[in-house]
Amino acid sequence: MIIVMKVSATEEQIQAVTGRIEKADCVPNLDRGAERVIVGIRTGRHDLTPDQFENLPGVDHVVRILKPYKLASREFHPDDTVFKVGNVEIGGNKLVVMAGPCGVESEEQIFFTAKAVKASGADILRGGAFKPRTSPYAFQGMGEEGLKLLSAAGREYDMPVVTEVVNPRNLDLVAAYADIIQIGARNMQNFELLKEAAALRKPIFLKRGLAAKIEDLLMSAEYLLAGGCDDVILCERGIRTFETATRNTLDISAVPVLKKLTHLPVVIDPSHASGVRDYIPSLTFASIAVGADGLMIEVHPDPACAHSDGPQSLPFEMFDQLMKDSAKVAAAVGRSI
């Protein structure tokens, strides 16, 4: 249930509404829009009814949210969520580009990559320190040393960094180095991890699970929002289907569907969606055209020697050309990159 205040509502009237909610052992959630304030009821009793609030001074009307994801819905938050990480705005007219290697492998590799992607126009540096791999014998990441190198490279080239957390026990460690915490596809429905990550109050990059429906993704986002994390980014990274020509199947339709259902920014990862570097430009252009708010792209100085995801990693020159071409596509749909 959400309570929509009148445009003329005073701060005293807003506080009276939130006080009534708290008195009922519930948690009020204020969304201060450009024109009016919307008060959501986050948790607590389920026996509250609209007529308990409709006649309070300053209240315009009360709406029941029928969708299971309340805080993530556009009913609760009609305007797009836009927030900043450092100097980088996420969710605005300018698409955000997150670029870097699948995994941090050495100081030389991550610094060399950070310099290159920054020069080509990337906004955020990505790199894995803890790698959840299908095979226990595959490269598992450098751990804390990888986090230190990633953070240092980000500071050197003035780029916020995003990296994945796999184990809840490592949350505080990852949070100490990362500007954005990534929850990977395999952990999208690890609800205990989601609750603990939300409590850190840091931006969270949430990837869609391998076989997750759009509603599943939004319900996982709801865990983060309900836990107190307001800055959530959704990522479509391809889903598992019967098709084997690509690593996954990019659900390009997920972007307009999500943009209709939720206020949260939506980013596409064409690298994991395809698994083939030659397909990444086409998927990138399609992602921009369909309305994505950003891209996550794997880039490596020598993909043939990458410890992980080499076939889907772009060499520097290919990424640079991709950025130039993407700027033209973005301009065609009234955006920038």
Q: Is residue 149, in this structure, part of any structural domain at all?
A: yes
Question: Average pLDDT, stretch 93-121?
Answer: 97
d(CA 142, CA 167) in angstroms, rounded, equals 14
Question: Which is it for strands 2-5 and 37-41: parallel, antiparallel or unpaired?
Answer: antiparallel
Task: Please indicate, yes or no, whether residues 115 and 53 belong to a single structural domain of this protein.
Answer: no
Please tell me the predicted confidence (pLDDT) of residue 212.
Answer: 97
Mean pLDDT of the chain: 93
Instruction: Please say which residue of 13, 35, 63 terminates a domain.
Output: 63
Sorting pLDDT into bands at 50, 70 and 90, what band is 48? confident
274 and 157 share one domain = yes
Whether residue 163 is found in the same domain as residue 22: no
pLDDT at 45 (0 to 100): 59
Which tokens belong to 233?
A: 């980014």
Within-domain flag for 143: yes
Are 57 and 101 within one domain?
A: no
**CA 233 – CA 87 distance, rounded (Å):** 16
Question: How many domains does the chain contain in total?
Answer: 2
Average pLDDT over residues 43-55: 77
Model confidence at 138, pLDDT cuts 50, 70, 90, reads: low
Average pLDDT for residues 69-82, to the nearest whole number?
90
One domain for residues 7 and 57: yes
Q: What is the pLDDT, as a whole number, of residue 34?
A: 74
In 3D space, the residue among 327, 337, 300 whose CA is nearest the CA of residue 100 turns out to be 300
Residue 337 lies in a domain: no
The pLDDT assigned to 148 comes to 96
166 and 56 in a common domain? no
How many CB atoms within 10 Å of residue 227? Answer: 16
Buried b (16+ CB within 10 A) or exposed e, 162-184: bbbbbeeebbebbeebbbbbbbb
75 pLDDT exceeds 80? yes
Contact 36, 83 (CB under 8 A): no
In-domain check, residue 74: no
Same domain, residue pair 284 and 136: yes
Give CA–CA dist 297/180, Å, rounded: 16
The per-residue pLDDT for 158 is 97
In a domain, 48, yes or no: yes
**Cα 272 from Cα 277, distance rounded (Å):** 10
Length of the chain as a residue count: 337
Domain CATH number, residue 199: 3.20.20.70
| DSSP conformational letter for 46 | S
Shared-domain flag, residues 160 and 89: yes
CATH code where residue 58 lies: 3.30.70.1140
What pLDDT band is residue 123 in, cutting at 50, 70 and 90?
Answer: very high
CB neighbour list of residue 74: distance below 8 Å, 6 or more residues apart: 260, 261, 262, 263
**Are 34 and 90 part of one and the same domain?**
no
Residue 122 in this model has a pLDDT that exceeds 70: yes
pLDDT, residue 1, reads 83
Indicate whether 44 and 164 sit together in one domain: no
DSSP, residue by residue, 243-301: --SSSSB--TTHHHHHHHHBSS-EEE-HHHHHS-GGGHHHHHHHHHHHT-SEEEEEB-S
pTM: 0.88
- Max mean pLDDT among 52-56, 228-232, 266-270 falls in 266-270
Same domain, 43 and 112: no
DSSP character at residue 157: T
pLDDT band at 211 (very low <50, low <70, confident <90, very high): very high
How far CA 122 is from CA of 77, 181, 242, in Å, comes to: 29, 18, 33
Say if residue 185 is in the same domain as residue 44: no
Residue 303 resides in a domain: yes
- For residue 2, the surrounding DSSP H or E stretch is strand 2-5
DSSP H helices, the chain, are 11-23, 107-120, 144-156, 171-177, 191-198, 214-226, 254-261, 270-274, 280-290, 316-332
Least confident window among 49-63, 126-140, 204-218, 307-321: 126-140
Range(s) of the domain holding residue 118: 83-332
**pLDDT value for 142:** 83
pLDDT over 60 (residue 137): no
- Residue 55 forms part of a structural domain: yes
